[in-house]
Amino acid sequence: MYPRQFEYVAATSLDEAVSALAGAEFAKVMSGGMSLIPMMKLRLLSPDVVVDIGRIPGLDQITDAGDYVSIGALVRHAQTASAQNLPRALVDAASWTGDVQVRNRGTTCGAVAHADIAADQPAAILALGATMVARGPNGTREIPADDFFVDTMTSALQPDEILTEIRIPKVGGATAYDKLGRRGGHTDYAVAGAAAWVQKDNGTVTNCRVALTGVGTKPTLAHGVAEALIGTDGSEQAVKEAAERATEGVTVLEDLYGSEEYKAHLAKVYTRRALTQALAQL
């Protein structure tokens, strides 16, 4: 299974990569290649130019920048999965992404840029309120997670932009991610999953963000859940009631792995589990 022919650019700097993207009619960035290459082999995608950013030095670090932790464009899933300074929701989402071989090459930034409807780390990124840093011909801009996921496999990135870094804010509280994998347990893409971030003050939930994956057209914030949980004591009953609102305002879609009804049910179940696990850490 060969992809169509393409021109290969092994960029050695971000500037070189950005200008290679800008100069081509249909170019694609390649980081880990774990989604791009399968799509090219199936000829679902046939770019004229593939700009490989895999050799650009300095992008493979997770660094503490004071207010936030920065994940560089070439940080592999395996690195994120074993990071000591990242929130648990993201660490677990990375460790349940694909298999060992996929985690050795695929990148956290690549998974987020790819924005698959059933991917793990995008949900965590959204729940954590991360900031994406994109570099294009006009320089660098920051995109908040709430604006980043636009539609199915569509992010706010322009075709000539590179996601250079994801910034995870250090906001405290506790986080968790849980999912039902397509191959059972936590294995493979999510049939459905939820990432949660909660904060409590004096026994009261003061902040909450829950993001769903696998159930709709894109990773989506469950606003109803947050609204219902904030102000409560975060008890089992409060979590149960809040989770009932998981799909409020969310377009639930059926796919090969489940009907609309089943997906909506799972969204509630995994919202409850993620919230329960996060609250248990506080």
Q: Would you tell me which residues interact with ligand FAD (CB under 6 A)?
A: 28-36, 38, 73, 97-98, 102, 106-107, 109-111, 113-114, 116, 119-120, 157, 162-163, 188-189
Residues whose CB falls within 8 Å of the CB of residue 253, separated by 6 or more in sequence, listed in order: 117, 215, 216, 217, 260, 263
> Is 54 near another protein (CB under 8 A)?
yes
Residue whose C-alpha is closest to residue 254's, from 98, 116, 117, 125: 117
Binding partner of residue 119 among ligand FAD, another protein, none, CB cut-off 5 to 8 Å per kind: ligand FAD
Query: Closest Cα to residue 274, out of 233, 246, 232?
Result: 246
Angle at 55 between CA 53 and CA 61, to 5 degrees: 90
Residue 109 structure tokens: 């930034």
CB of 236 vs ligand FAD, minimal distance in Å: 29
Q: Which does 157 bind (CB under 5 to 8 A by kind): another protein, ligand FAD, none?
A: ligand FAD
Q: Positive or negative CA dihedral for 164, 68, 148, 126?
A: positive
Q: Are 207 and 220 in contact (CB under 8 A)?
A: no
The residues near 50 (Cβ < 8 Å, ≥ 6 apart) are 6, 7, 8, 9, 27, 28, 30, 36, 40
| Contact between 42 and another protein per CB under 8 A | yes
Q: Determine the interface stretch with another protein among 12-20, 39-47, 217-225, 260-268 (rule: CB under 8 A).
A: 39-47
CB of 145 to ligand FAD, least distance (A): 15
CB atoms within 10 A of CB 100: 8
Asked if 37 is part of the footprint of another protein (rule: CB under 8 A), the reply reads yes
Closest CA to 127 of 249, 215, 222: 222
1 binds another protein (CB under 8 A): yes
Q: Which of 11, 20, 27, 52 binds another protein (CB under 8 A)?
A: 52
The entry of ligand FAD, another protein, none that residue 178 binds, CB within 5 to 8 Å by partner kind: none
Minimum CB separation of residue 203 from another protein in Å reads 37
Sheet (strand 204-213) strand order: 174-181, 190-201, 204-213, 220-221
Smallest gap from residue 230 Cβ to another protein (A): 37
Nearer to another protein, 79 or 199 (CB): 79
Query: Rounded CA gap, 16 and 53, in Å?
Result: 10
Interacting partner of 162 out of ligand FAD, another protein, none (Cβ under 5 to 8 A depending on kind): ligand FAD
Is 101 one of the binding residues for another protein (CB under 8 A)?
yes
Residues 123-182 that bind another protein (CB under 8 A): none
Binding site for another protein (CB under 8 A): 1-8, 10, 33-34, 37-38, 40-42, 50, 52, 54, 98-102, 104-105, 187
